[in-house]
Amino acid sequence: MLITLWTKFFFLGVTRTYPQHQISKTTNQILKQTTPHNSKSFERGSGGKLFQKFSPNKQTFPQKTITNTMRIKNIICVKGVSGYFFDDQKAVKTSAKADGEFYIGEAVTKGFSKVRQPGECVSVMLIMESGAVAIGDCCAVQYSGAGGRDDLFRADKYIDEIKKYVTPKLVGEKVDSFKRLAKLLDNIRVGGKRLHKAITYGFSQALLKAVALTQHNQMAQVVANEYDLEIDLDNPPKILAQSGDNRYLNTDKMLIKRVDTLPHALFNTVDKIGKKGEKLEEYVGWLRERVKILNDKNYMPTFHIDVYGTVGQIFDNDIKKVAKYLEKLADIAQPHKLYVEGPIDTGDRESTLEKLSGLVKILDKNKKVKIVADEWCNTLEDIKEFADKKAAHMIQIKTPDLGSISNSIKAVLYCKEKGVEAYLGGTCNETDQSARVCVHIAIATAPHLIMSKPGMGVDEGLMITRNELNRTLAVLKEEMLEYDFYLD
């Protein structure tokens, strides 16, 4: 028998009555209904081969029986702020001068009126028939418009586009399958063109949350169930934090809080690394010595430095010279592992891909240092090609650049299948909402690394990312204990 629960809400002295979910079974009855464990599982990190075996710490969760599939009743959009800035990367690398938090100079990339502009987002709220609200944030990377990315995302412009083209397609849809809804979203066209990736990124977050709410599941469980994955509760992904330009004080924060991989460090101009790379060498040496202050033998963080193509700049993109320099950095970093992100960026996709592939071959001879691809890996197809051609040891899956989070899920799994380390990254210019959704994707897909985001202050992004990770794992572990109890 269906039981309808009613709850009264009091707001500004007005009493309103809202219907809640219709639930046909008790929690105990739902937990008793299960599907067989699926033995398929992916190993974490590089190698990533599909294998068949029983593993007690990798879990397939029981499906919960839902009698009524909810529909999307309404969609609300509101302009918001994101966690950092939009920066004109081309201007920053060529002509603009830093002055505190400002950049002095003229913007050169399409859509920018200033070199640095406030970060923006559009929060989308899917109102379901039950009254539940599923939220996602449409946001874009700090360096929008660079490296083949979509143009600058301005909230005021795109809210109108959302209301005109997206809302009519989604309102009334059944919230029954994330995959189905994500495909529907990806097929929406405006004048024959796809939606801005920030829009599909935000709406796909909301759609995943909506399905999770309807199923009374965690978002990670929805991903695991629909993509036929198992969740490893005992080996969560490592977290990378980013310092921004405040690369000394913020690194201290990371060390105190025992961050797994650090500090990113934002070496995005030749002036920062030195004309011969001497400033970067000095910084890596400082980093190595700084860890020693903790006097903690159980803590050995990995060093991850993003150089935005500047190493290639000082060596005219000569891969032999770049390789020699990177191996010198790795020697300085010892005993810590070193990853260098974006060592070469020629300014176009094909030649960057070719150079990075050649660089990997040279570096693999001594295996001292690993490189990470970022720029020009803007689509699922890009990531597949970089992985196929071994253009990096690790690929950053920059979630806003891929649009729908379904593409990020596929990208992680593809990298692992090809033996390339998957880094579920993103941007400092995201929001707390998008960061939390990405944590759930990471729990389900098990990338080698996940970015702490948003912002550049370390504390806030790490708090959001690490807490969401720990909370979700705790809930899933408790659910498995209950599940095992009922099986007994």
- Catalytically active residues are 398
For residues 459 and 426, the answer to whether their CB atoms sit within 8 Å is no
3-class state of residue 314 by DSSP: helix
Q: What residues are paired with 98 via a beta bridge?
A: 103
259-262: long-range contacts, CB 8 A cutoff, minimum separation 24: 259/301, 259/452, 259/462, 260/301, 260/302, 260/449, 261/301, 261/302, 261/303, 261/304, 261/339, 261/449, 262/301, 262/302, 262/303, 262/304
Look at residues 20, 452, 34, 462 and name the one whose alpha carbon lies nearest to residue 257: 462
124-142 burial code (b ≥16 CB/10 A, e <16) = bebbbbbebebbbbbbbbb
**334: number of Cβ within 10 Å:** 10
DSSP 165: I
Task: Give the helix/strand (H/E) hosting 355.
Answer: helix 349-366
Distances (CA, A) of 243 to 290, 305, 452, 454: 15, 10, 10, 11
Q: Residue 232: count other Cβ atoms within 10 Å of its Cβ.
A: 20
Dist CA 63 CA 128 (whole Å): 21
Only one residue has tokens 């310092």, namely 243
3-state secondary structure 270-309: HHHHCCCCHHHHHHHHHHHHHHHCCCCCCCCCEEEEECCC
Residue 144: alpha-carbon gap to chain centroid: 16
Contact 127, 137 (CB under 8 A): no
Closest CA to 336 of 302, 359, 365: 302
Residue 71 burial by CB count (10 A; 0-12/13-18/19+): exposed, middle or buried?
middle
User: Are 387 and 397 contacting, i.e. CB atoms less than 8 angstroms apart?
Assistant: no
User: What is the 8-class DSSP label of residue 399?
Assistant: G
One-character DSSP codes across 202-268 = HHHHHHHHHHHHHHT--HHHHHHHHTT--EESSSPPEEE---TT-TTHHHHHHHHTT-SEEEE----
DSSP, collapsed to helix, strand or coil, labels residue 363 as: helix
Report in angstroms the alpha-carbon separations of 118 from 82, 101, 142, 243, 284.
8, 11, 10, 19, 31
